A and B are shown apart, each in its own frame.
Chain A
């Protein structure tokens, strides 16, 4: 189908926020001060699991310069949580909601201190005397699910936060058809978001008496909802404003300083500022889930995958956050982007006394695909078949049934994406159309270094899944007389750095039919914009893009009817999704997907175990690149974040306590660690219901990298590493087991 002709959409225009960001003029939450402001510091839990018997604030309160100290009794409705309200705002004794006197992890908050200076607030925090009565704790998801494990939440027996099933086809028949079976266990660990701007914010009472929080988040209206719920206020009494946001990646989807800043500002009736240190940030916001996958896959001699059985166990930590959603995704991704007749998956989310886990770019898909893609690569080895060829024989195509028993939405491009990645990297098609690797890595002359190539694919939903209410609002106001002089776009889609505001402006200019320069964006203030939903699930371009398009059409109709200004108010609602059937998993899980495949080349130092990523080719179907340069930025950024995940990022948690909460000990990639280039192959197979055909795309390039690197390490050394990250100590130990690198 020919692409819709566009003028502004499809151009690599400069970001509308670029100038302020290169000059330093753009304020972030930590840069904003108000006259007369006080400072807030928080007292966090000193135990992984304990009942708080008493909190003595008398000494701290008497410290000169302390404005006030808030504890659990000062929180009107002492509960919060994005999906379910299972976490106390402040843990402590006395309260109407059962269980709020218990701390369940080290990131639980106990007291809010407001003082004239940050130093006094910090000093007062240490003077608060908390008396604990220790409770037995559990730090491993499988142990938490076992009999007689310590129980975290009174209404969640056996710590089973969720259990999802997929039952498709007939397993007995599947195994009987299989000529080869591979079975393995895959493990992933926590990942820290490490956005460069630690949590910060300012709370105050605005000119209309609203409790206002200036903060960096991912969904203004969700922050607002959680604040007004906890403060027991009507919605219109709470306002949330996002200035520039210093990165998010899912890590700002849940509350950090929002509710407590609102409490502090309301109690003190003063502006209150807070700024977390890097240590506070790493210790006190959620992480990517550690997930263990037991996988057994079978295929015929011809490379047809006929049976998949998997058990997926995720460590949710002490509270749900978005775990029930993340594990729902992992459940579906456990059989990869393949049409397989016989599938049985059981996925469990377990409460533990570890740090809570939640959203992080990929949302459960990276962990599940590490296992699924590892299994496909091992089947290829077992069948002596090319890894691209086995994928081509099994991947989803238009009309394929998803593992949940319903057809994928139209616009499935997985075959084309695999082909493009293969062609642009190390493969070619033989005369019989089968794929064969055409390039072998140039082996280094050093005897201790070996190079290898790997391939993996992936897919992920765009927008909320499994029946979670999904909609996005935008408003467009057209100003002028005979001609449109100005287009004002009002929406709340957060620009967390990905460039969403620029993309919205481009789409508004295109839809209204004016030059880009005529668009002015008013964004991310609950006092002025409707809810556009979160900057997550690769959804803003798709969802808010459709809202912008709808609002523009309405506004143009009013313009034609001589309204001045002409206003369009539009809420886009995508096709409905449905939750898993509890027994079979049958559902209509999603309304759109993005597809991806990657090929990598690595060098393994068999003496030290060091793995160096030499080359990455990332093919992504983005539907329509609204701004190709920004799309490329998302691919490059996701790939390098995934390279950190695969090769170096290792969060050390000891009995629930994070031991490396610094950027000197939690190592993320520098410019010196990354490959010379990431080749972005941007494909545009339009999504039938995406705006101008666009799909979401920013998470997808994260997904295949870890399994592709695992395959490349195998190609180089003949050794599979089934647990991420592939750090030198782990790699060298695996090599030694096989007597590789022993002199």
Chain B
């Protein structure tokens, strides 16, 4: 039937390659083949953002990206935001502000926050809300998330 395709890519700073079916999503390959379960499956439809990863600097829903499209690209998952020496400031601020409850949306939100702050280090509250509107959260009511992101942005600017 389908032929397995060999894909060469970079994940969290390291060269990686994998075999996948032509119709497999990047999300499935990350979770099932690469063992990176930080990207969560919330809808498989691009509606919830729980599977967010950064691909060549762009925030994507990995459920909507075919794994074969990862050929030659550079991908950052939440596991790559977490540094070996400790938590990223974004992660720390989500903890400080209790900006998480069940935690399923949190990882996608952290990746989305990273993409936002890479792109705009000094976002306004409106910028934050607009950027994160693709990430559903059913637990928190969002306010603590907005505070965490604004606080992380400020802390990261001071750290530079």
Contact = CB atoms under 8 A, between A and B. Distances in A.
Interface of A: 12, 14-15, 17-19, 21-24, 26-28, 30-31, 193-198, 244-249, 275, 277-278, 496-499, 629-630, 632-633, 636-641, 662-664, 668-672, 674, 676-678
Contact of A196 (B37, B129, B137, B145): B137
A629 B103 CA distance: 16
Nearest to A635: B141
Interface in B89-145: 91, 94-96, 98, 100-107, 110, 125, 128-130, 132-145
A674 B40 contact: no
B101 A247 contact: yes
Contacts of A499: 98, 101
Contact of A15 (B98, B136, B142): B98
Interface of B: 31, 36-38, 40-48, 50, 77-79, 82, 87, 91, 94-96, 98, 100-107, 110, 125, 128-130, 132-146
A21 B103 contact: yes
Contacts of B143: 636, 674, 677-678
Contact of B138 (A19, A31, A195, A672): A195
B100 A22 contact: yes
Nearest to A249: B138
Nearest first, the 6 closest Cβ-Cβ pairs linking A and B are A24-B38, A497-B102, A21-B103, A636-B141, A640-B141, A246-B104
A197 B47 contact: no
A247 B104 contact: yes
Nearest to A31: B37
A245 B139 CA distance: 12
Nearest to B31: A31
A30 B41 contact: yes
Contact of A640 (B91, B94, B142): B142
Contact of B100 (A18, A275, A669, A676): A18
Contact of A678 (B47, B103, B107, B141): B141
Given A23-B78, A24-B78, A197 B42 contact: yes
Nearest to B82: A23
Contacts of B37: 24, 27, 30-31
Contacts of B144: 632-633, 636
B102 A275 contact: no
A724 B132 CA distance: 27
Contacts of A195: 102, 104, 138
Contact of A194 (B98, B132, B138): B138
A498 B138 CA distance: 12
Most chain A beta-carbon neighbours within 10 Å: one of B94, B104, B140: B104
Given A636-B144, A672-B133, A21 B100 contact: yes
Nearest to A633: B98
B78 A247 contact: no
B136 A19 contact: no
Contacts of A629: 98
A673 to B, nearest CB: 8
Contact of A498 (B44, B101, B128): B101
A24 B79 contact: yes
A19 B100 CA distance: 10
B102 A496 contact: yes
Contact of B102 (A196, A670, A678): A196
12 contacts: A12-B98, A21-B106, A247-B139, A249-B138, A498-B101, A498-B139, A638-B141, A664-B43, A664-B47, A670-B136, A670-B142, A672-B129
Contact of B48 (A24, A31, A663, A677): A663
Contacts of A668: 136, 138
A391 to B, nearest CB: 25
Given A196-B50, A662-B45, A22 B129 contact: no
B141 A196 contact: no
Given A21-B106, A23-B82, A640-B141, A30 B40 contact: yes
B131 to A, nearest CB: 9
A283 to B, nearest CB: 14
Contacts of A676: 125
Given A244-B102, A663-B45, 8 more contacts: A14-B95, A18-B95, A31-B31, A196-B104, A247-B138, A637-B101, A668-B136, A671-B129
A197 B146 contact: no
Contacts of A194: 136, 138
Nearest to B39: A24
Most chain A beta-carbon neighbours within 10 Å: one of B31, B101, B102: B102
Contacts of B125: 676
B140 A636 contact: yes
Most chain A beta-carbon neighbours within 10 Å: one of B38, B137, B142, B146: B142
